[in-house]
Amino acid sequence: MSVTIKTAEELEYMREAGRILAIVHQTLGDALEEGMSTLEVDALGEEIIRSYGCEPSFLNYMGYPASVCVSINDEVVHGIPRADRIIEEGDIVSLDIGVIYKGYHSDAARTHGIGHITPEAQQLIDVTRESFFRGMDYAVAGGHLHDISRAIGDYATERGYGVVRDLVGHGIGTQLHEEPEVPNFRKFRRGIKLQPGMTLAVEPMINAGSPNVVWMEDEWTVVTEDESLSAHYENTIVITDGKPEILTLTESEKRLWK
């Protein structure tokens, strides 16, 4: 399948999938606290998703056994929820969630600090979020895909962070993963030309140390090779003739982006 351009009607479904996912993130993020198991986070996440008439898109995707990916500290992405994995004060916790509304997917991730976190951890979270928005300056029709990638990667790399290369963002729509791949680092070529109606999940994964990652024995959980902290920030966006439409921003984030 090649890169799809969504119709106006499809974009309405994508917007609703995004709007609901933003509420899920807000609600679940607010509920996160020390002492919770990652399995409890997943159960609450699934309940919120279903309460809005959506399906959790990660559940059973390629055999993934949960609705929410919960990745703590040196876990980069795809942490599998477990009853014996307890969130602690000082942790940074990445929540990656996808929902399906009337056949259309949205995908977004946020990293939260639990209670008091170190300034280094907070800075990692802030740089990861900001790198995404630097990418958005280039997410315009007529521009090229890898200009987004370069802006994200350069912002983080210049500040001494390790940009994960083994995992990338992606097109999104009736499938969770569609073409094209959206890297978070410089590519030699500029990539495809962006057109209005393209929908992308842009998701920088940034490490405090080395960019290298390894897979755990569960075959899902991705961790930093050097055990440094990692943060994740992802939104589902639509390319337009002007600024991109970011479908998965929470209400408070929308106020800052405008």
Which of Co ion, ligand MF3, none is residue 64 near (CB under 5 to 8 Å by kind)? ligand MF3
Residue 156 or 201 with smaller CB distance to Co ion = 201
Select from 23, 201, 205, 247 the one that contacts ligand MF3 (CB under 6 A): 201
Q: Are 22 and 250 in contact (CB under 8 A)?
A: yes
Residue 58 in contact with ligand MF3, rule: CB under 6 A: yes
- DSSP 8-state secondary structure symbol assigned to residue 4: -
- Alpha carbon distance 4, 7 (integer Å): 9
Closest alpha carbon to 232 in 33, 24, 54, 68:
68
Strand partners, 235: 202
Residue 105 in contact with ligand MF3, rule: CB under 6 A: no
Core vs surface per residue 227-240: b (16+ CB within 10 A) or e: ebbbbbbbbbbbbb
Q: Are 148 and 175 in contact (CB under 8 A)?
A: no
Closest alpha carbon to 66 in 37, 87, 46, 90:
46
Residue 32 or 97 with smaller CB distance to Co ion = 97
Q: Is 103 helix (H, G, I), strand (E, B) or coil?
A: coil
Residue 199 or 228 with smaller CB distance to Co ion = 199
Residue 107 in contact with Co ion, rule: CB under 5 A: yes
- Alpha carbon distance 116, 237 (integer Å): 32
Which of Co ion, ligand MF3, none is residue 69 near (CB under 5 to 8 Å by kind)? ligand MF3
Select from 42, 75, 96, 147 the one that contacts ligand MF3 (CB under 6 A): 96
Strand partners, 101: 104
Select from 23, 77, 80, 201 the one that contacts Co ion (CB under 5 A): 201
> Closest approach of Cβ 89 to ligand MF3, in Å?
26
Residue 219 in contact with ligand MF3, rule: CB under 6 A: no
Residue 215 in contact with ligand MF3, rule: CB under 6 A: no
- Binding residues for ligand MF3, rule: CB under 6 A, are 58, 61-62, 64, 69, 78, 96, 107, 109, 170, 201, 234
